[in-house]
Amino acid sequence: MDHWLKKSIFYEIYPQSFLDTNGDGIGDLAGIIRKLDYIRELGCNALWLNPCFLSPFGDAGYDVEDYCQVAPRYGTNEDLIRLFEEAHRRDMHVILDLVPGHTSIRHPWFAQSCKVEKNEYSGRYIWSDSIWHDVAGYGNITGSLRGLYPRNGCVAVNFFSNQPALNYGFAHPTEPWQSAVDSPEALATRQAMMDVMDFWLSRGCDGFRIDMAGSLVKNDPDSQETIKLWQQVRRFLDEKYPDAVMLSEWGEPDKSLMGGFHMDFLLHFGNSHYMDLFRCDHPFFSREGKGNARAFADTYEKNYRLTSGKGLMCIPSGNHDMERLRHWLDPEEMKIAFTFLLSMPGAPFVYYGDEIAMRYLDLDSVEGGYNRTGSRSPMQWDHEKNYGFSAAEADQLYTAQDPAADAPTVADGMADSASLWHTVQTLCEVRKAHPALQADGGMEFIYCEADAYPLVYLRTGGGEKILAAVNPAARQVRCPCGLSPAGQPLFALGGPVTLENGTLTMPAESAVLLPVE
């Protein structure tokens, strides 16, 4: 891979919770620009911004009202363009969160589609032909709205009732109201989304994380028509923006990579067993040592083979949709978890605040967050008012903040050389310095047995061989390893690790990145 993505370490920013510069209690683009040097100092060189477009915020911006206008609470289109420019000046890249599967009910397209009279947008969404004919249950349609609009019919939604589903057609239409994938209305929707991508790429955006990428075409059980759709998008990008990145929220890398995506996220739902590592009753990375990484490794190896050894699967520390890592692991355990996250193939993603072990909070729902709201609290920068997030009064903040006396802050993390912050920073620098540890380096599990520790894997690339080994358990462990050291560790936690006579011995709660031959 000869691409900027190869060395990228992403930092995910939830814009409304990062830094407020105008005192309204909500983060903004100016705040992100102000903290670019901080993100670069941490070691991240790419940003993923959650949706920042005009929206009624019924689902925190994932209900888009206008794909080509920044929400005023964040700033202006010019502010976003300035963010692109300032990032590029620092040799950083920015990808936006594109939500192609649905819009807000307030999108002008939807207002037109609700009219009785036929118009350009009548087929932009999925409507049945009768108010008595529900669309829920067809293909992968999860729900519908009915009886709210003049048009005779029910309209499909993607989960929330304020998110009507855009019409990309049905792979296997079974009803007269279901469009084929090559119908004029389905193709018009496809073109409209490529126009949105063109709009932002032409203004300096470096690519997109695609929300629900595998769900656009309905009744497509083998995803073949969805793959073809994305292949068309990739051809469009290759012709006009060949460096533009597409990362998919799909969870099936063999399909998404075939569709032209560069990488695919391991999801917190589905069959990746990602949750076994960090978020379950007995996480593998807990010091209690009762976890099991074998199912994760089996699934990862299967996907690795299906993607021809590319291994381009993103493993995030967390995101806006799941409980924070700190809910399950303490900062010392998180150091070992980050050793794993920052030494695996694909681009790693650090969720804002995870570098200081921000807590998951028990909060009432804000903007459709429900249980996810507790992972979306404002960033904790220092010990000034509202932890340096905003000059607003506390009751005006996007959500409440951590009330604990020992709430972590960036200032404390940066001041303590033994902190999680410095561990993440060091791991980022080691990763960027060694091709074997980067996105497209080879990967092979050396030791990963059911209900056993440690987890050991070999990374290769650029003429390097680097053994990565993690032992989160609070006990010494050994395993067979037919390799020999080829130098001093590039990174180590928890005491000396030995590799002698075909045996790897690791002390309790340790990790190592070791050159081998």
Q: Which tens digits make up the pLDDT trace of 27-58?
A: 999 999 999 999 999 999 999 999 999 999 99
List the domains of the chain with CATH numbers: 4-100+187-431 (3.20.20.80), 102-167 (3.90.400.10), 443-515 (2.60.40.1180)
- Burial letters 407-433, b for 16+ CB under 10 A, else e: ebbbbbbbeeeebbbbbbbbbbbbbbe
What's the whole-model pTM score? Answer: 0.97
Helix axes 331-341, 420-433, angle to 10 degrees: 10
Number of neighbouring beta carbons within 10 Å of residue 441: 24
Query: Do 342 and 431 touch, CB atoms closer than 8 A?
Result: yes
Two tokens at 184? 């004029």
Two tokens at 336? 């070992």
Q: How far is CA 267 from CA 172, 252, 323, in A?
A: 27, 9, 13
Distance, CA of 210 to CA of 401 (rounded, Å): 29
Query: Do 266 and 272 touch, CB atoms closer than 8 A?
Result: yes
Residue 1 has pLDDT above 70, yes or no: no
| Residues above pLDDT 90, as percent of the chain | 94
Residue 306 has pLDDT above 90, yes or no: no
pLDDT grade for 304, boundaries at 50, 70 and 90? confident
Residue 490 has pLDDT above 70, yes or no: yes
Two tokens at 180? 């084929």
pLDDT grade for 305, boundaries at 50, 70 and 90? confident
Work out the average pLDDT over 438-449. Answer: 96
Two tokens at 517? 């031959």
Query: Do 287 and 294 touch, CB atoms closer than 8 A?
Result: no
Q: Which tens digits make up the pLDDT trace of 46-89?
A: 999 999 999 999 999 999 999 999 999 999 999 999 999 999 99
Mean pLDDT of all residues in the chain?
96
Distance, CA of 250 to CA of 312 (rounded, Å): 13
The phi, psi pair for 56, rounded to 5°, reads -80, -5
Q: Which tens digits make up the pLDDT trace of 126-177?
A: 999 999 999 998 988 989 999 999 999 999 999 899 999 999 999 999 999 9
